[in-house]
A and B are shown apart, each in its own frame.
Chain A
Amino acid sequence: MNKHGLHARPAVKFVQLASNFKSKITVCKGGSCADAKNILKVLSLGVDCGDNITLKVEGDDEEEALKQLTHLLQVVLPSEDRE
């Protein structure tokens, strides 16, 4: 996870991107899961730096969704942190 976890700024990008897809997308941390298109639920997970999270994507565009969301989490957000 990037330096600051999924707090407001990165969470906005994550939720905005997730909302572009038709698939049902769930993000999980530890035992709890949240609808990736709902920012209140995503924030409530309290994802901090170093936390492991799991993405579950189900639907017509699941492959593309997983690809883009993974890219956001692993490449885009960490690079913004370095700025």
Chain B
Amino acid sequence: MSVLKTYRGVPASEGIGIGSIRVYGYIDILSTIPSDCKAKDKSLEEAKLSRALSKYKDYLASLKRVLPPTDWELLDAYELMADALVNEAVEEVRSRGVCSELAIKAVYEKYSKMFRESGSELIALRESDLKSIASSLVELVSGERAQGATLIPGSVLVADELYPIDALKLARQGINGLVTRRGGVTSHVAVIARNNDIPYLIVPSINLDEILELEGKQAIVDSIEGKLIVNPSNDLIEAYSARLKCYKRLKEKAKRYAFLRATTIDHYSVDVLCNVGNVEEARIASTSGCDGIGLFRVEFLYMGNKPPSSDTLLNVFHRLAELFKDKPVTIRAPDLGADKPVPYIKLEEQNPFLGLRGVRLLLEYRDEILKPFLEAYLSVASRVNNLRLMLPMVSRVREVYEVAEIIERIGERLGVKDPSQRVSLGIMVETPAASMMLDKLAETSYVEFVSIGTNDLTQYVLAVDRTNARLSKFYSEFDPSVLRTIKITVDQAKRYGVEVEVCGEMASKQYAVPILVGLGVDGLSVNPPVVGLIKYTISKLEAKELKNRLVTRLLNLSESEEVLSEVKKYMSEKEIETI
């Protein structure tokens, strides 16, 4: 019965959590209210409603302290809706003598129908907010009977999707870990999880029916490596408990390094930048101590039914430039196609990862996507001095020339002097071709910096589809073939005075730091929560020794496992604490 099962997930708030599984919000609480629920004492029911409302308002007030001001209007909307809902529920209790839960449900159903029939799509969308409000109120009125109250502190909570208000409520009750299947509203949920130090993992492949049967069983949320382990053995739980202890101690230590410049013992400085996927994450990153943004993914702006308007792009670029002032913000041109398809570009490909994606797609759809993007970018970048532009998935030298020419033409039209010189242009090295041809790419004189995208580079060097779970044992950034490719890239870049950064997941891995620093990279772009940890690690290393001893040895190994165990040995010799 108790079979160990591991799910892969995306860490949204880092950490390790161990506890028993609780499924949240899967059973629609509104549907559990009996339709003949009567009020025994009307004034008692009224009092329950008003207490629930004031508790609910307390939650909203606490949320206001957590969320950015841009979201306060939504919270105001929630407050007004809750007010109106409870007022009318009180009427229901008085006139029909129903219990408070049923009264809330009746009012919810009435307006939910009216919202849907309002003829306005935007208002119909508010129906789900109303449901969240009604469910929370019902939970608050029924107190001990509600599922929220059966929550045992210290559990690992699994849900399909969470509202910020639920996340806050759960954080208050003290959960050890959080897992959701979907991450729609999650940037807020992630913020709340991080603020409350709750490990939070998004696991798209999770089956809630399956999990429901496992309620009460043990689970480990490993939101460092991105794993949810259900039904772990006692040995595994013990091992993780020990890791959790070390992790907490190291995290405290790392905090002290986050706002310092990362410099090795022999005074070699490394930029520690952040990878972010939207403006809210950038805002969080700006307070994490990182030296700028090494990768801003704009794809979220392109996931709708059409590409973003120029206003939207201008607005985002402006806010980014402002947030970081004199620190660099690297904006990657949209990397669409492959695992990021968009509805308005139909690509029917046998093999999307080897298909029309990245800069190839941008040049193919230059009028629809590339030019409007560059226009917005240039008009902001020419007025500030901290934006950098990066091209994804470069595999041919001519791609750089073609983009540079488009930049030149747009720049002229916008009245920007020497646009291709003024634009700080970089490319991502994700294909073996870009690595092999780096000298030629550098000779174009357009390329000021390169950033190694290790996720794709690894899959292309090893010919392993990184989304294929059956191949995961073949996929490792620590494979000597990948390290050799990175070495070629760094060496060529150095020869031409081109800056080299690494922005793939590898850069966020503590064991990769000695290797990358030893290979001579100038910057690491990492996930915001690990900035302190990566800076701590760099500060304990000696660049010269890494280069002369460790890296030379690693490049002569045959297997990724050997590389990892060598690095681990080295770090423990140097008494560097690891997670």
Contact = CB atoms under 8 A, between A and B. Distances in A.
B111 A44 contact: yes
B77 A46 contact: no
Given A5-B120, A9-B77, A44 B84 contact: no
Contact of A46 (B74, B81, B88, B118): B118
A9 B73 contact: yes
A46 B120 contact: yes
A16 B84 contact: no
A16 B79 CA distance: 11
B80 A7 contact: no
B122 A39 contact: no
A4 B115 CA distance: 15
Contacts of A48: 119-120, 122
Interface in B113-153: 114-115, 117-120, 122-123, 126, 129-130
Nearest to A49: B120
Contacts of B111: 40, 43-44
B418 interface: no
Contacts, number: 63
Contacts of B403: none
A66 B120 CA distance: 25
Contacts of B88: 40
Contacts of B84: 38-41
B85 interface: yes
Q: How many interface residues does chain B have, given as a range?
A: 20 to 34
B120 A11 contact: no
B76 interface: yes
Interface in A10-60: 11-13, 15-16, 38-41, 43-48
Contacts of B315: 83
A8 interface: yes
Contact of B118 (A9, A39, A44): A44
Contact of A40 (B76, B85, B119): B85
Interface in B58-101: 73-74, 76-77, 80-81, 83-85, 87-88
Main secondary structure of the interface of A (DSSP, over half): helix
B120 A39 contact: no
Contacts of B115: 43-44
Contacts of A43: 111, 115, 118, 123, 126
A15 B120 contact: no
B72 to A, nearest CB: 10
Size category of the binding interface on chain A: 20 to 34
A14 to B, nearest CB: 10
B123 A7 contact: yes
B120 A16 contact: no
Given A7-B126, A38-B84, A12 B119 contact: no
B80 A12 contact: yes
B74, B77, B87, B126 pick with most chain A CB within 10 angstroms:
B77
B118 A45 contact: yes
Contacts of A8: 73-74, 77, 122-123, 126, 129
A15 B84 CA distance: 11
A38 B117 CA distance: 18
Which of B87, B114, B119, B129 is most buried by chain A, counting CB atoms within 10 A of its CB? B114
A40 B342 CA distance: 35
B77 A12 contact: yes
Nearest to A39: B80
Contacts of B122: 4-5, 7-8, 48
A13 B77 CA distance: 9
B56 to A, nearest CB: 15
A80 to B, nearest CB: 10
A12 B76 contact: yes
A45 to B, nearest CB: 7
A47 B80 contact: no
B120 to A, nearest CB: 4
Given A7-B126, A8-B74, A15 B118 contact: no
Given A16-B80, A41-B84, 9 more contacts: A8-B123, A39-B80, A40-B81, A43-B118, A44-B115, A44-B118, A46-B118, A47-B120, A48-B120
20 contacts: A5-B123, A8-B77, A8-B123, A8-B129, A12-B73, A13-B73, A16-B76, A16-B80, A39-B77, A39-B80, A39-B84, A40-B81, A41-B84, A43-B118, A43-B123, A44-B111, A46-B117, A46-B118, A47-B120, A48-B120
Among all A-B residue pairs, the 8 with the closest Cβ atoms: A46-B118, A44-B114, A7-B122, A39-B80, A46-B120, A40-B84, A8-B77, A46-B119
